[in-house]
Structure 1
């Protein structure tokens, strides 16, 4: 049974993840960065990008609609930590090509509330493969050392 504190944590994280998706859709990198812990990171394409690299990574990425589903969450409210998975369907704005998959997340409660600590992308390919992306894309920036 979910108690009031757990329900409050779930609602706060769902809103946090909604702000990520809306910020990415609107190309508002500042609002996206606010949903992460200051030492947060994003993993895809065979690399892990610290938060400082996120603006360059997003600038190099296609623009479009980030549609996300309700996250499946496992939270430890007393410890202020948690994990989750969230399905994603990205539709590129100019071609309407789609990328589908899911995010695997870790969360931390901070003085500013719950934040994403890590976010990792897994893509679902037409071939049936599930992977973190193509590491050889020359237009994608390289992550800086952590």
Structure 2
């Protein structure tokens, strides 16, 4: 049976995961530093062609690649959250269904879909739960532009 604290912790982590997705889709990348990741976070987005590294490298990559000019619309839909909490740390595996609209030219866009799993480690901080490690595992890709090599 789960304790009230563990139930509360799981809900807080769930909210953190939804907040991450919302910030990514709003392209509010700087806010990830303040409300999602720990300062020493390690993030690996290489499964779908992204960066690997610390928080600074990750935020630089996201700012350069997730622009309205290139991706006018996206949705990061999280599901099948598997969260385990042990005191002030936790682990998770989260499914993400990610449709992305990509601008190919001034008048043409293409929508493609990515399915990934986030494999996470969480840490309780003075400011609340934060992601201290995130690694993507690619599940599938549908309709990506040929030049993307996903």
C-alpha distance 126-38 of structure 1, shift in aligned 2 (>3 A): closer
1:89 corresponds in structure 2 to 97
Q: Residue 134 of structure 2 corresponds to which residue in structure 1?
A: 119
Alpha-carbon separation, structure 2, partners of 1:90 and 1:11: 22
Q: What's the CA shift for 1:97?
A: 0.2
TM-score by length of 2: 0.76
Query: In 2, distance between residues paired with 1:82 and 1:32?
Result: 19
Distance in 1, Cα, partners of 2:125 & 2:82: 21
User: Given the two structures, how large is their TM-score scaled by the length of structure 1?
Assistant: 0.78
Counterpart-to-counterpart distance in 1, 2:65 and 2:85:
31
- Matches of 1:42 and 1:23, distance apart in 2: 16
Higher helix share: 2
1:30-49 → structure 2 map (5 Å cutoff): 30-33=30-33, 34-45=35-46, 48-49=52-53
Q: 1:6 & 1:125 partners in 2: Cα distance?
A: 33
Give the structure 1 partner of residue 16 of structure 2.
Answer: 16
* CA distance in structure 1 between the partners assigned to 2:56 and 2:133 by the alignment: 13
> Once structures 1 and 2 are overlaid, which stretch shifts more, 62-71 or 98-107?
62-71
Q: Distance in 2 between matches of 1:126 and 1:114?
A: 31
Deviation per residue, 1:13-58 (Å, 9 max, x gap): 0011111000001101122222011101210227632001122211
Matches of 1:100 and 1:126, distance apart in 2 = 6
Is this contact kept in 1: 2:38–2:132, CA < 8 A?
yes
Which structure shows the bigger proportion of residues in strand conformation? Answer: 2
CA RMSD of aligned residues (A): 2.0
Q: Which runs of 5+ in 1 are unaligned?
A: 128-136, 138-146
Query: Structure 2 stretches of 5 or more lacking a match?
Result: 103-109, 143-147
> Superposition pairs for residues 59-78 of structure 1, below 5 Å?
59-62=63-66, 63=71, 64-77=74-87
Return closer, same or farther for 1:32/1:70 CA change in 2, 3 Å cut-off: farther
